[in-house]
Amino acid sequence: MSHTTFPAGFVWGAATAAYQIEGAVCEDGRGESIWDRFSHTSGKTKGGATGDVACDHYHRWRDDFALLADLGAGAYRFSVAWPRVLPDGRGQVNQAGLDFYSRQVDALLERGITPYVTLYHWDLPVALEDAGGWPSRATAEAFAVYAGVVAQALGDRVKHWITINEPWCVSMLSYQIGEHAPGRQDWAAALAASHHTLLAHGLAVPEIRRFSPGAQVGITLNFTAAVPASVSYADRDAARAFDGYFNRWFLDPICGRGYPSDMVATAVEAGLLPDGLRFVQPGDMQIIAAPTDFLGANYYTREVVTVGTRPGEWQPVRLDTPRTAMDWEIYPEGLYHLLLRLHSAYNLPKIYITENGVSYLDEPGDDGRVRDGSRIDYLRAHLDACQRAIAAGVPLAGYFQWSLLDNFEWAHGYDQRFGCVYVDYATQQRTPKDSFFWYRDVIARNDLAGSS
């Protein structure tokens, strides 16, 4: 194996999520999700963008699968919309919703593309939010039932499952910062939400295994490398606090270590946990640490931090380094270090990069071609980091580029374009960007060499 070759059997894929691409929010019995409500609330998304139509993938998925096949992808990561399957979050099953995903699974398998199904990528049925949302334990219990319903319908053919996408976003970004649906700003609610998100994962694992024999099951966490702005003790403490808040708070429990004690102490000291970890019931931490087959890791950037106003707090430091259209620093070395850390400090059987990619404000040239050389540079550098991590012994089994299509980038609306396929939202025309052809070559060769 040359230093640019990936191991035989390395999984090459692309990823999407239901609310970001499907549209058809009122069709075939789908219920309302928190993102329908949030995006229709004035001022919550850029330009008032909603996922009502998005990429119209609900009607165009066959064409999109033709693109996947043309890409040569061996795998496709997509999410099931909970409100399509259980419009009220629990109770009555909507068969039309299940059938939609069942048809997709069949079509993927016919094309030789392995489905990697994410069960929750943020579109909580509003009925569950109205009953308390993720801060309520009942949501975790409802999720386990929903996971069983989907696994029962698809589990004969789907053998790769991701329970939850990015618990930090589900809890902190949505209930503490309030930038994502449901848009609450309440620390105590966010901490409870974080626990119930992890609990939902742990409760779902046996449900999936029950109905999908032989399946591989995991969870996807988003990681941001935490880097101190200087070598001072104060900055190093700040980086450790950021790492605890963003990374360890979620990673440690699923790896059987419980919540990081330094973070619990900080939260108690700051008055964020007036009742302590009241939401943790006996047995919860064992459920959350259910043995899994892989960890999904999403990586985009790092955060350079310095000491905040109080001990245990941090503030970001902006360096004069290249950034993306999301204003995220480009830092591929962070991916290399993350993979080494996950391997050396946590005993993980297997890792997939379930998302990595970049947003630029791409537009077609006069000739219709989308020249996204900067995206190619970004992907190449991050794949090089993956390759070096594998060479160093990390059990990295696959890579999913985010995203197959330009799509609804949540609060940022449609300006941000992460796709390797350009979407003209007025006509729904798809145009593979230069990065599509570049990635196709890498996949075909299983090698980064010669990828210019």
Tell whether the torsion through CA atoms of 242, 248, 250 and 251 is positive or negative. positive
Q: Does 80 bind ligand IFM (CB under 6 A)?
A: no
Q: Does 362 bind ligand IFM (CB under 6 A)?
A: no
Q: Which of 113, 128, 409, 436 binds ligand IFM (CB under 6 A)?
A: 409
What is the nearest approach in angstroms of ligand IFM to the Cβ of residue 133? 19
Q: Which residue is nearest to ligand IFM (CB)?
A: 17
Task: Give the span between the Cα atoms of 22 and 57, in whole angstroms.
Answer: 4
Between 134 and 418, CB nearer to ligand IFM? 418
Q: Does 171 bind ligand IFM (CB under 6 A)?
A: no
b/e burial code for range 177-205 (CB count within 10 A of at least 16 → b): ebebbbbbeebbbbbbbbbbbbbbbbbbb
What is the nearest approach in angstroms of ligand IFM to the Cβ of residue 296? 11
β-strand partners of 218: 162, 294
Q: 333: helix, coil or strand?
A: helix
What is the nearest approach in angstroms of ligand IFM to the Cβ of residue 358? 9
Task: Give the span between the Cα atoms of 366 and 363, in whole angstroms.
Answer: 10
Between 121 and 388, CB nearer to ligand IFM? 121
Q: 231: helix, coil or strand?
A: coil
Q: Are strands 314-316 and 294-307 parallel, antiparallel or unpaired?
A: antiparallel
Q: Are 234 and 307 in contact (CB under 8 A)?
A: yes
What is the nearest approach in angstroms of ligand IFM to the Cβ of residue 335? 14
What is the nearest approach in angstroms of ligand IFM to the Cβ of residue 412? 8
Binders of ligand IFM in range 89-118 (CB under 6 A): none
Q: Does 36 bind ligand IFM (CB under 6 A)?
A: no
Q: 116: helix, coil or strand?
A: strand
Q: Does 298 bind ligand IFM (CB under 6 A)?
A: yes
Between 200 and 264, CB nearer to ligand IFM? 200
Q: Are 289 and 255 in contact (CB under 8 A)?
A: yes
Q: Does 22 bind ligand IFM (CB under 6 A)?
A: no
Binders of ligand IFM in range 150-169 (CB under 6 A): 166
What is the nearest approach in angstroms of ligand IFM to the Cβ of residue 17? 5
CA 335, distance to chain mean position in Å, is 15
Task: Give the span between the Cα atoms of 294 and 11, in whole angstroms.
Answer: 13
Tell whether the torsion through CA atoms of 120, 122, 290 and 221 is positive or negative. positive
For helices 332-345 and 373-391, what crossing angle results, to 10°? 30
Binders of ligand IFM in range 231-290 (CB under 6 A): none
Q: Which of 61, 402, 414, 436 binds ligand IFM (CB under 6 A)?
A: 402
Q: Which of 120, 92, 121, 104 is nearest to 29 (CA)?
A: 92
166, 303, 329, 409: the catalytic one is: 166
- The count of chain residues that interact with ligand IFM, using the rule CB under 6 A, is 8
Q: Is 32 a catalytic residue?
A: no
What is the nearest approach in angstroms of ligand IFM to the Cβ of residue 97? 20
* H/E element, 126: helix 126-130
Binders of ligand IFM in range 317-356 (CB under 6 A): 355
Q: Does 406 bind ligand IFM (CB under 6 A)?
A: no
Q: Is 166 a catalytic residue?
A: yes
Q: Does 400 bind ligand IFM (CB under 6 A)?
A: no
Binding letters toward ligand IFM, positions 178-217, x by CB under 6 A:
----------------------------------------
Task: Give the span between the Cα atoms of 360 and 422, in whole angstroms.
Answer: 11
Q: Does 303 bind ligand IFM (CB under 6 A)?
A: no
Q: Which of 413, 411, 408, 403 is nearest to 433 (CA)?
A: 403
How far is residue 269 from each of residues 148, 265, 272, 308, 349, measured CA to CA in Å? 39, 6, 8, 15, 36
Q: Which of 17, 227, 307, 376 binds ligand IFM (CB under 6 A)?
A: 17
What is the nearest approach in angstroms of ligand IFM to the Cβ of residue 20? 6
Catalytic residues: 166, 355
Footprint of ligand IFM (CB under 6 A) = 17, 20, 166, 298, 355, 402, 409, 418
